[in-house]
Amino acid sequence: MAGLLLAGCTIGALRSGPEPLTALNRVAEDPATQLRWLDRVTWGASASSQAELARTGLAAWMGRQLSPRMQPLPPAAQAQVDAMTISRTPLPELARALEAQRRAAEALTDDEQKKAARQAYQQELNRLAREAQQRFVLRALYSPDQLQEQMTWFWMNHFNVSLRKDNLRAMVGDYEENAIRPHALGRFRDLLGATLHHPAMLRYLDNAQNAANRINENYARELMELHTLGVDGGYSQTDVQELARVLTGVGVSYQPLDAPPPNVRPALRADYVRKGLFEFNPNRHDYGSKTLLGQPIQSRGLAEADEALDRLARAPATARFISRKLAVYFVSDDPPQALVERMAAAFTRSDGDIAVTLKAMFESPEFAASLGRKFRDPVHYVIAGVRLAYDDRVVSNVNPMLGWITRMGEQLYGHETPNGYPLNEAAWASAGQMNTRFEIARAIGANGAVLFRADDKAPLEKPAFPPLADSRAVRAMQAGLGADTREALAQAKNPQEWNTFLLASPELMRR
């Protein structure tokens, strides 16, 4: 039965926001179409989300999604988030304490004590990274601002940093919270600047080691190739070198804010900047003249970086590169060029307003025609399955979900290289992946009680599975299921098996 189901899977911050999408009301009046919109715009359709969309109408609902109101999670989920160290302790305080812990461990002379102290330091880093992963999943499951959570994941992947490097496990939660999420539907230039000023990016791409006469080009190269212009964006190796010179002195300091600045030459003291862990040290900056993308840099000191980001964010190549990547994420692995060009025009016209760019995509006939066809990567598959199965019932232990996601190869914040996880179907539709998905479908549909116990050793409650066949959302989608899936469901021996077959069906692999 598993083979029957899997056969079809291996083939194939507050602001005014954009104008209302009034034209959308007429395209989503029936529940099945509403579910397809929910599956694409949110982290997965559920009975309660479909009821909300039907009540408000698609145009008003999409307007709210494009202009998020920063609403809290349901109390049971918000309480879990609020109790986390990363939610209660500012990153500078956390990072400085960890650095002191690391130094104290290295200063020990007894080998056994040093080993134990190093292990405790690593365990604390792991705990903080796990908190960031848990917080992300809780928000993806329950936030009313679903599009913002989708875009937070998209931008975290676009501006990728990896928890596998150095002490980024302590920083990744703050990076998502303060550099990415507030700008996920804002202006691209603001988002770009926030990532440049965050210590997670500066440590990950080695700009903290970038200094005059000791140039490190890593961040400069990825800033153009992956973050803005794209590999075919028209820049040269000379542009990489010049941008690296612009970024000299941009780094990280663990000194307290009230600590005296380093001994900077009198003529450059006014250029020194320290904000949180971010530091611009004039002693490390190359003050020579620079040319970027054929135009001289007119500014001085840290302002050179702002001038460079302005130039990169407003380049036509950036508009096309970002628009195409958004279209790949939301529409198709190979999006129509005409759609990309319309999105790029909206991006340019709005000075990089992400919500306006998305609005142009959501209103397009290409987007409507693509609904139900985009293959789910592991993160989307797991979260969508839990949302459909358990709706707004708040899980108390997301660790099994993190395990399922990691098992399928998409560990949150775990991609080691700067390009982020792939967004195309070919990366996630292997036969081995599909077999694993069937096992995870069984875990969600038949053994979901593991999500509702306080920890991995607590006893399981009964019943251990959701009544999926009774879900209003599932009833609405059944008419669109293929003949093979309907046959498999008809042969299910019990509700657990019925749940498993539905969640493992080819239709549930797509959004």
Euclidean distance between CA atoms 181 and 409, whole angstroms: 24
CA angle 398, 201, 293 (to 5 degrees): 135
Structure tokens belonging to residue 228: 């803005």
CA atoms within 13 A on the CB side of 63: 14
pTM: predicted TM-score of the whole model, two decimal places? 0.94
**Dihedral of the alpha carbons of 25, 31, 36, 39, in degrees to the nearest 10:** 110
What is the pLDDT, as a whole number, of residue 258? 79
CB atoms within 10 A of CB 386: 27
What is the pLDDT, as a whole number, of residue 9? 43
Q: Which amino acid is at 142?
A: Y
What is the pLDDT, as a whole number, of residue 232? 95
In eight-state DSSP terms, residue 273 is E
Closest C-alpha to 382, from 397, 399, 402? 402
What is the pLDDT, as a whole number, of residue 28? 63
CA distances (Å), origin 167, targets 69, 144, 202, 245, 376: 33, 32, 12, 26, 31
What is the pLDDT, as a whole number, of residue 256? 81
Euclidean distance between CA atoms 411 and 399, whole angstroms: 12
Q: Locate tokens 């969600």: which residue?
A: 444
Mean pLDDT per 10-residue run, the chain (511 residues)?
A: 45 46 66 95 97 94 94 96 98 96 96 97 98 98 98 98 96 98 98 98 97 97 98 97 98 88 92 96 98 98 98 98 98 98 98 98 96 97 98 96 98 98 97 97 95 84 85 94 97 97 98 97
C-alpha Rg value of the chain to the nearest Å: 24
510 touches 376 (CB < 8 A): yes
Q: Locate tokens 């999420």: which residue?
A: 181
Domain spans of the chain, in order of start:
2-70+373-509, 75-182, 207-258+268-312, 316-364
Euclidean distance between CA atoms 361 and 342, whole angstroms: 8
434 touches 2 (CB < 8 A): no
What is the pLDDT, as a whole number, of residue 21? 67
What is the pLDDT, as a whole number, of residue 456? 77
